[in-house]
Structure 1
Amino acid sequence: MKTMDLSDFLDGTNGALTLEDRRTLTEQALVLFEDNYVHLPLKTAMHAVNPVQRLRLLLTRLGRQTEQTMDPEWRFHAALSSVFHSVRDLHTNYLLPAPFAGKVAFLPFRVEEYHDLNGPRYIVTHVVRDFAAPGFGPGVVIHHWNGVPMERAVDLAGDRFAGSNPAARRSRGLQSLTIRPLVMHLPPDEDWVDIGCTGTDGDPGELRLPWQVTDNLPPYVDADGLSAAAVAQGLDLVGDEISRATKLLFVPDVVELERAGGPTDHELTTEPADAGQDIPTALPGFFRARAVQTPSGVFGHIRIFTFNTNDPDAFVVEFVRLLGLIPQDGLVLDVRDNGGGHIFASEFLLQTLTPRRIVPEPTQFISTPLNLRLCRRHAANPTRQIDLGPWFASLEQAVETGASFSATFPITPEGRANTIGQQYQGPVVLIINARCYSATDILSAGFQDHGVGPVLGVDDNTGAGGANVWTHGLLKALFEVPDPADTASPYRELPGGANMRVSIRRTVRVGALAGTPVEDLGVTPDIRHRMTRDDVLHDNTDLLARAGGILAALPAFRLTATRDGATLRIGTKGLDRVDVFVAGRPRASVDVADGDTSLTVTPAPGPRDTIRVEGYAAGVLAAARTIARGA
């Protein structure tokens, strides 16, 4: 990893944007906010902001400048970035051009928050490989940042960077103290940071560290490409950039493993994990799976770092493989710090953890003439897997009805969200924090809306970024296909390699909270846990113990089913009734007790019929098995 001091990097960043380039960027931002931005009414009300008027004022100021009198380029970037930050939406961003794109500014350590009886504390948990300073390392408590008390410094940073709610702002503020992706944020104002801390030796001290700059790891998905993955993006790009930078800086072994193509086939075990054992995964950048010993028993723990994949089906296949290797008495599903990605991947996963049918979270466009044109153009486009037809009719009707939004339809196909059914029958607890965004917000909402299990939060709510996000490049491309291109398209090529993103479809919830938007509100946990010193320094010891106690108090069920012609061999635990469906039609219902049961299905299922076996406890659906066609 090659690095340079921030001051040296900035010496080589001479501005190249002309005055006309700046007008183009501002005008294109105005198109996104006026004609595409689905959260504009919400943000105007909740945060008392007016980004449209600010952009008009910026255009007026640019109109008074000349090439000789125009502001320095960094000041223009700051002004345009400020408009995007004002709406506190981590999906709606101005992406800076070269040389900032692809770069990350960092300090050589990671700081995290924990709580004790005296309130929040800030502690160093990781340092960059080969970095050393006397008395500085994991366990150092930081109490001042550039002379500012640490809690105040976190609040100030949180106010500067976007975050939909107080918990998200504080969490993002803490992150930004040591890692800043330059594609989203201007470089730090200071060349170095003075840190007041208590060292590992217990002595107070001060340390001055310069900001450094390096190349970040590349993203997994081309968000500008005409693909199903780009259209189904639900990604907090800042969080994703920080996640990749964190991996680069603090877990380089995983980076090296990914570059080598992951573990070889013979390294992927098929044996269930013992307590304390990690399970090798074919997707080390996405998953960490293991068996953890807690005071309440041994449970599975799967950490999902991102949903940002081009292949949601392969993602779920690997998740199911890992489910089969962890203890079956309970699962801790941990999605903290996951900035989202492919919405399909997050919602396809839910079916594997519950016997209930999954209803994907629906979405809607804001009603504007430009969005109507967009949906009309792609009302049926199966060759590119981009079909906006479901939203088209309601947007067309909105001209007559005055509706502010389209009707709601899911992005994730409901059939594919229920294809394989439940794969893990032990109880499940979901762990969230305020850095869960986008597709992870959607997963968390669906988990809670379908009653999959308790939600355990280390913050007061998720980050609350409930939207499908498209880039300016994708919007431009959607008006160029299918042939012929729309010559009246308002989208123009952005100069200098800059880009923009916008929340295009907002997500609303299903179940008991049906119709509630996810944006700004997020998902509130059922149970709250404050991170302890042992959590941040010793691999979440107390958090996992809390989760284990929750799992141990929940009922455990078992339902197995195999087919031999017309005979089903069924094994049950904790169930009192089993119903059998063949090709979606009810065929049998029998009372059962713990143990094995043989059941003859008449007429015999065809070889390509899908069989679903549902198990009930006291009249409540508790477990299910799906025997796929040809199995």
Structure 2
Amino acid sequence: MPFDELVSAAEIVAAARAYEPGTLGADAAPPPMWVPTQLTVGEFLATAGILTLDERKAIVRQALVLLEQNYAHLPLKVAMHGVNPVQRLRLLQARLNRQDAGTADPEWLFHKEMLSIFSSVRDLHTLYLLPAPFADTGAALPFTIEEFFEHGEHLYLVSRTSDRSLFPADTPDSFKQGVVVTHWNGVPIDRAVDVNGDRFAGSNLAARHSRGLAALTSRPMQFFLPPDEEWVTITYLNADGKPDELRMPWLVLQRTVAPPPPHAEAPRGVDLEGERIASLNAHLFPPAKAAAASPSGYTQTGQFLWRTVTTDSGTFGHVRITSFHLEPFDIRQHLVNFLNVLAALPEDGLILDIRSNPGGHIVAGESLLQFLTPRPIRPEPAQMVNTPLNLRLALRAPDNFGPWRESMEQSVETGAVYSGAIALTSTRLVNAIGQVYHGPVVLVTDARCYSTSDIFAAGFADHKIGTILGTEDNTGAGGANVVEQTDLLEALSGDAGTPYQALPRGASMSVAIRRMLRVGETTDGTPLEDLGVKPAERHLMTRADVLNGNPDLMEHAGRILAGMPKYRLNVGVEVGDDSLFVTLDTREIDRVDIYVDDRPRESADITQSPTRVTVDGVISAGKIRVEGFHQGALVAVTTVFTG
């Protein structure tokens, strides 16, 4: 720590020359993880209730440890949201101490209070995850709802439907993809979404609205209690524009395949809840079927879905980064994949799309930024809150927390609330190769971008890489490195006085252990948490965007790209007996500076393209870096590795 993968830049570039793209088809379907049961919500609840009073007390004790002594955002959350989760836990603890087996509350009430306490901090990194049988159960409806705008009106439609066998036999034929939903259990749909979102964690209004919409039809019970109602009544407009209704019971699903354990190779920033919702949806709406029905025409390479899009403003590349979670963890292959994708796309403009990306490994996000800008990348620094327990972690688990030890020890004298700020990702790694794409870039975000996606968007903005186009007013605003309670338990496993204890019956917790700070000229040192990354421009999603592969969104992004400057700096090198010959193919470049093995060797004005520059006195060269300027401003960089 900071994470520093020993990756050879020359090896990555060489590996990227061998390119075999995959296709998004049948092979992309995940193994079945969920199966529908015959249980109703009420029948499932009747089977739940196995936690003893002592086990409930143990859960509260561990929650107090995490929130009071490890939680990086506690001072911010108390100030910004006016909450006191630690006091609420103490009150719950006192109530449990007054109870006995005969007077204990129903188990679901205990879970409801725990979820309410954790949700009060509006942080999807800091979670209470319910034990068995909730942990392996989900409630879902066999359709999804998305929002769009039409003639200035905010509307909602059914965007996907699952197999018809999952619907009641009396489901109207008129209920299908594309119908506009007007009411949810008699409540106007917009109001129902916001009321639902207020129950769940979300760092800002846009995030809460987006979470409320997603949880309207999909609720993994490890994160949510079962719905209060056993069925929902959906009012929608049929093809004739007349109101119709569907009464749909909640489906209760059981998980058959355990999720993979989180990787310890690198710090993570991830939306666990979002990952689980995506897992449920992957069962109900298999990617292979979605791809077959979609006009989008993506190719899949690793975590990247990419295509070429033709708009009225030109032809551009479109890359959806679906996740920053690497499985298996292979940062070298991740970088190679992105280089391959960039090489296959037009150079006139790139639309990077991280909508609904739940995050993953922080290094997987930050290491991609270098390919898009001539500026050196500064990874976001992280801080820990100064507490005796966090200092103990730094002393006993130096590989993970050691770099923060010195500043935490000094806090006894300085009174500082936070430790020093140290990057989780190696500066060397995020600058190992440098820029490879010289065209303009637009980044598309929404309020479901979270954690590593927030960090990626913040880095994009702070390094002035391009324009951010948002389909909502903010990102999810998750600015932290998250750890599981089991990670901390393991970190102090050899400490006889450790406060961490195993949680009962598969219960779990996660906590934001380090907060992330931004690095821009005007944002340097600003916390990412809760504030998020606001877009420079807003796009209102249309019906065509939701149902037909985002054509209007692509047109909007294309107009932005068409108005941005376009540069080109292609470099060829030849090493002679005592000279280096550099061939340049440029656009809008009027000067180049040439570095050989990190030493400045030549500066030349560019009056035509292509052109050739001779660098005398060079008999060997492992790395040639060419910096391109336009009217005195650095606008493009190309690095060639000859080793």
Structure 1 residue 138 displacement after superposition: 1.5
Structure 1 residue 10 displacement after superposition: 0.6
Cα contact 1:184–1:238 (8 A) shared by 2: yes
Cα contact 1:329–1:427 (8 A) shared by 2: yes
Partner of 1:269: none
Mapping 1:58-207, distance limit 5 Å: 58-130=92-164, 133=171, 134-207=173-246
Between the aligned residues of both structures, percent identity stands at 49
Partner of 1:426: 439
RMSD over equivalenced CA pairs, Å: 2.0
Structure 1 residue 414 displacement after superposition: 0.8
Secondary structure of the 2:159 match is strand
Alignment partner for residue 369 of structure 1, among 388, 413, 432? 388
Structure 1 residue 220 displacement after superposition: 7.2
Deviations 1:364-383 (A, max 9, x none): 0011111111112233x3xx
- For 2:461 and 2:40, how far apart are their aligned partners in 1? 44
Unaligned stretches of 5+ in structure 2? 1-33
Partner of 1:521: 531
Secondary structure of the 1:550 match is helix
Structure 1 residue 571 displacement after superposition: 1.6
Secondary structure of the 2:557 match is helix
Partner of 2:341: 322
Quickly say closer, same or farther: Cα 1:561–1:219, change in 2 above 3 A: farther
**2:58 corresponds to 1:24:** yes
Deviations 1:558-597 (A, max 9, x none): 1111222232222211101111112222111111134122
Matched to 1:66, the amino acid is D
Quickly say closer, same or farther: Cα 1:487–1:602, change in 2 above 3 A: farther
**2:493 corresponds to 1:456:** no
Matched to 1:559, the amino acid is L
Cα contact 2:35–2:256 (8 A) shared by 1: no
Mapping 1:285-300, distance limit 5 Å: 286-300=303-317
Partner of 1:610: 623
Alignment partner for residue 598 of structure 1, among 612, 615, 623? 612
- For 2:619 and 2:210, how far apart are their aligned partners in 1? 54
- For 2:197 and 2:473, how far apart are their aligned partners in 1? 16
For normalisation by structure 1, the TM-score amounts to 0.91
Structure 1 residue 430 displacement after superposition: 0.3
Partner of 1:390: 403
- For 2:318 and 2:312, how far apart are their aligned partners in 1? 15
Mapping 1:218-297, distance limit 5 Å: 222-223=261-262, 227-229=264-266, 232-253=267-288, 278=297, 280-283=299-302, 286-297=303-314
Partner of 1:534: 544
- For 1:589 and 1:355, how far apart are their aligned partners in 2? 17
- For 1:129 and 1:520, how far apart are their aligned partners in 2? 38
Matched to 2:605, the amino acid is D
Quickly say closer, same or farther: Cα 1:307–1:17, change in 2 above 3 A: same
For normalisation by structure 2, the TM-score amounts to 0.89
Quickly say closer, same or farther: Cα 1:118–1:281, change in 2 above 3 A: closer
Q: Which has the higher contact order (CA 8 A, sep 6+)?
A: 2
Quickly say closer, same or farther: Cα 1:366–1:11, change in 2 above 3 A: closer
Partner of 2:584: 570
Partner of 2:422: 409
Structure 1 residue 503 displacement after superposition: 0.7
Matched to 1:228, the amino acid is E
Cα contact 2:48–2:133 (8 A) shared by 1: no
- For 1:219 and 1:441, how far apart are their aligned partners in 2? 27
Cα contact 1:102–1:218 (8 A) shared by 2: no
**2:323 corresponds to 1:306:** yes
Cα contact 1:103–1:183 (8 A) shared by 2: yes
**2:593 corresponds to 1:579:** yes
Cα contact 1:313–1:345 (8 A) shared by 2: no
Alignment partner for residue 510 of structure 2, among 485, 501, 515? 501
Cα contact 2:301–2:341 (8 A) shared by 1: no
Structure 1 residue 277 displacement after superposition: 7.6
- For 1:325 and 1:217, how far apart are their aligned partners in 2? 39
Matched to 2:36, the amino acid is T
Cα contact 1:335–1:440 (8 A) shared by 2: yes
Range that drifts further, 51-60 or 583-592? 583-592
Matched to 2:207, the amino acid is A
Alignment partner for residue 620 of structure 1, among 613, 633, 640? 633
Deviations 1:504-548 (A, max 9, x none): 111111122101111111001111111122221221111110000
Unaligned stretches of 5+ in structure 1? 258-275
- For 2:49 and 2:560, how far apart are their aligned partners in 1? 56
- For 1:508 and 1:195, how far apart are their aligned partners in 2? 43
Structure 1 residue 8 displacement after superposition: 7.0
Partner of 2:36: 3
Deviations 1:122-152 (A, max 9, x none): 1111111345641111111111101111111
Quickly say closer, same or farther: Cα 1:287–1:215, change in 2 above 3 A: farther
Structure 1 residue 629 displacement after superposition: 5.3
Quickly say closer, same or farther: Cα 1:562–1:254, change in 2 above 3 A: farther
- For 1:325 and 1:104, how far apart are their aligned partners in 2? 40
Range that drifts further, 4-13 or 593-602? 4-13
Secondary structure of the 1:2 match is strand
Range that drifts further, 168-177 or 8-17? 8-17
Cα contact 1:438–1:467 (8 A) shared by 2: yes
